[in-house]
Amino acid sequence: MQIKVKPAENLKQKPQDESKLGFGRLFTDHMLTVQYKAGIGWHNAEIRPYENFSLSPAALVFHYSQTIFEGLKAYRTPDGIKLFRPWDNFKRMNVSARRLCIPEIDEKFALDALVQLLRIEQDWVPHSEGTSLYIRPTIIATDPYLGVKAGEEYIFYIILSPVGAYYASGLEPVDIYVEDEYVRSVVGGMGFAKTGGNYAASLIAGELAHKMGYSQVLWLDGKERKYVEEVGSMNIFFKIRGELFTAPLEGTILAGITRDSVIRLAKEVFGVNVREERLAIADIFEEHEKGGLEEVFGTGTAAVISPVGGMKWEDKVIRINGGKMGELTRQLYDKLTGIQYGREEDIFGWTMTI
Ligand SMILES: *Cc1c(COP(=O)(O)O)cnc(C)c1O
């Protein structure tokens, strides 16, 4: 498929102060859009000025949440602009697409289109340490129809947003609230898909946690509310007596690309045993009592690695590693960001330069 390019007439001012970028509020001059219609397939690929869509108020996506998204970043490095495992994002987008009855995209076309968009927008990739250009591929069902059914018309689009560090507090450890009432997903549900509905379901717990002074919610399994699953938009790891534990991929959590990268780095670079196993929250708190809980951290593209300094579950509050970032957390963070920003050798072939 050929991509038509319609350049923007007026370019926006690039942000002057990169320390104030924040996350996801500014967008670049152009976006990619591709349309889908049953019987025709994906067609009409365009790189065009970033602007509002005009959609029917009846569009399926507004009513029944038939939408999926992805999140990845472009990094400015000494050897040019790099992407980190972008092929895995488009592969996962198709996993989500199948779950939500959305037509699959051609992964190779999507990556080529992204590279073409990034070449046009490359001046938007910020320069300062820790900053990047966040990439948000999305698909929405646009049919103007109030019946519940899978759409026959879709838009696949990619927008770009220059971002600073994800958390206002930088790499400072965060406190998380273990949610024991609401659940995020269950086996057979769509917890493994990157879709708006999962986030809509999570908002109420997030709001309550914020009110109590916690920045994130740790979800327990949807059936017994016993085993740890993931945190907001991150997977979670626990270092207990020298070993790393993280929830297994059983359909209820997102298969994070950062999660997978951390598992490989921990095993193959740092020689740490990694156990993808169910882990009960009660056992974690008990290990803390006995001095066995060494480090806790979340992983995800937006935040990379986020140390957890404290956790509240029921009426128990614990401090982890004295509320400070752990040593393995720091090593994994340095190695992973080192590869992403081109400071470290890309031993696993994870990056591509555009
Ligand atoms: C995106 C996301 C993650 C992290 O995935 P990465 O590929 O590492 O960015 C984790 N959990 C949820 C619910 C997510 O949406």
Per-residue pLDDT band at 237 (split at 50, 70, 90): very high
| CB 121 less than 6 A from any atom of ligand 1 | no
- Write down the pLDDT at residue 303: 84
pLDDT at residue 22 tops 60: yes
Neighbours of 16 (CB within 10 A): 6
Inter-residue contact 50 to 28 (CB < 8 Å): yes
pTM exceeds 0.85 for this model? yes
Of 224, 225, 191, the residue nearest 313 (C-alpha): 225
Asked if 187 and 56 sit in the same domain, the reply is no
| CB 202 less than 6 A from any atom of ligand 1 | no
From 163, 189, 213, the end of a domain falls on 163
| CB 162 less than 6 A from any atom of ligand 1 | no
| CB 235 less than 6 A from any atom of ligand 1 | yes
From 144, 163, 182, the end of a domain falls on 163
| Number of domain units in the chain | 2
| CB 194 less than 6 A from any atom of ligand 1 | yes
* Per-residue pLDDT tens over the stretch 123-159: 999 998 889 999 999 999 999 999 999 999 999 999 9
From 163, 182, 201, the end of a domain falls on 163
Asked if 194 and 280 sit in the same domain, the reply is yes
Q: How far is the CA of 72 from the centre of ligand 1 (A)?
A: 10
**In a domain? residue 353:** no
- Write down the pLDDT at residue 170: 57
pLDDT at residue 45 tops 90: yes
DSSP 31: E
Backbone angles phi, psi at 2, to 5 degrees: -75, 145
Q: CA torsion angle for 233, 239, 245, 246 (degrees, to 10)?
A: 0
Atom of ligand 1 nearest to the CA of 231: 11
- Write down the pLDDT at residue 167: 53
Asked if 195 and 144 sit in the same domain, the reply is no
* Per-residue pLDDT tens over the stretch 161-205: 999 966 555 578 999 999 999 999 999 999 999 999 999 999 999
- Write down the pLDDT at residue 129: 84
Q: How far is the CA of 75 from the centre of ligand 1 (A)?
A: 18
- What is the average pLDDT across 298-307? 93
**In a domain? residue 143:** yes
**In a domain? residue 103:** yes
Instruction: Name the pairing type of β-strands 216-220 and 174-179.
Output: parallel
**In a domain? residue 144:** yes
The DSSP-derived string for 285-313 is HHHHHTT-EEEEEEEETTTEEEEEEEEEE
Q: How far is the CA of 65 from the centre of ligand 1 (A)?
A: 19
Say which residue the tokens 């509050």 belong to: 317
**In a domain? residue 87:** yes
- What is the average pLDDT across 278-292? 98
**In a domain? residue 315:** yes
SS3 107: helix
Asked if 196 and 49 sit in the same domain, the reply is no
In the chain, the percentage of residues whose pLDDT exceeds 90 is 94
| CB 142 less than 6 A from any atom of ligand 1 | no
- Write down the pLDDT at residue 172: 86
- Write down the pLDDT at residue 27: 98
Buried b / exposed e over 256-294, threshold 16 CB at 10 Å, is bbbbebbbebbeeeeebebeeebbebebbbebbeeebbb
Residue nearest to atom 15 of ligand 1 (CA): 233
Q: 268: domain range?
A: 174-340
Residue nearest to atom 13 of ligand 1 (CA): 233
State which amino acid sits at residue 200: A
| CB 300 less than 6 A from any atom of ligand 1 | yes
Asked if 124 and 12 sit in the same domain, the reply is yes
**In a domain? residue 347:** no
Say which residue the tokens 């102060």 belong to: 17
Helix (H) or strand (E) holding 91: helix 86-99
Asked if 151 and 181 sit in the same domain, the reply is no
Q: How many Å apart are CA 254 and CA 51, to the nearest integer?
A: 30
Q: How many Å apart are CA 202 and CA 229, to the nearest integer?
A: 13
Q: What is the CATH number of the domain that holds 187?
A: 3.20.10.10
> Would you state the structure tokens that stand for residue 170, as one six-digit string?
């930088």
DSSP 250: S
Asked if 81 and 197 sit in the same domain, the reply is no
Asked if 203 and 290 sit in the same domain, the reply is yes
| CB 229 less than 6 A from any atom of ligand 1 | no
**In a domain? residue 169:** no
Q: What is the CATH number of the domain that holds 109?
A: 3.30.470.10
Asked if 129 and 222 sit in the same domain, the reply is no
Residue nearest to atom 12 of ligand 1 (CA): 233
Asked if 152 and 196 sit in the same domain, the reply is no
Asked if 204 and 154 sit in the same domain, the reply is no
- In DSSP terms, which residues pair with 243 in a beta bridge? 240
Residue 168, by phi and psi: left (phi above 0), alpha (psi -120 to 50) or beta? alpha
pLDDT at residue 87 tops 70: yes
The angle formed by the CA atoms of residues 258, 125 and 305, to the nearest 5 degrees, is 25
Asked if 81 and 192 sit in the same domain, the reply is no
* Per-residue pLDDT tens over the stretch 88-128: 999 999 999 999 999 999 999 999 999 999 999 999 999 98
Question: What is the pLDDT of the chain when averaged over all its residues?
Answer: 96
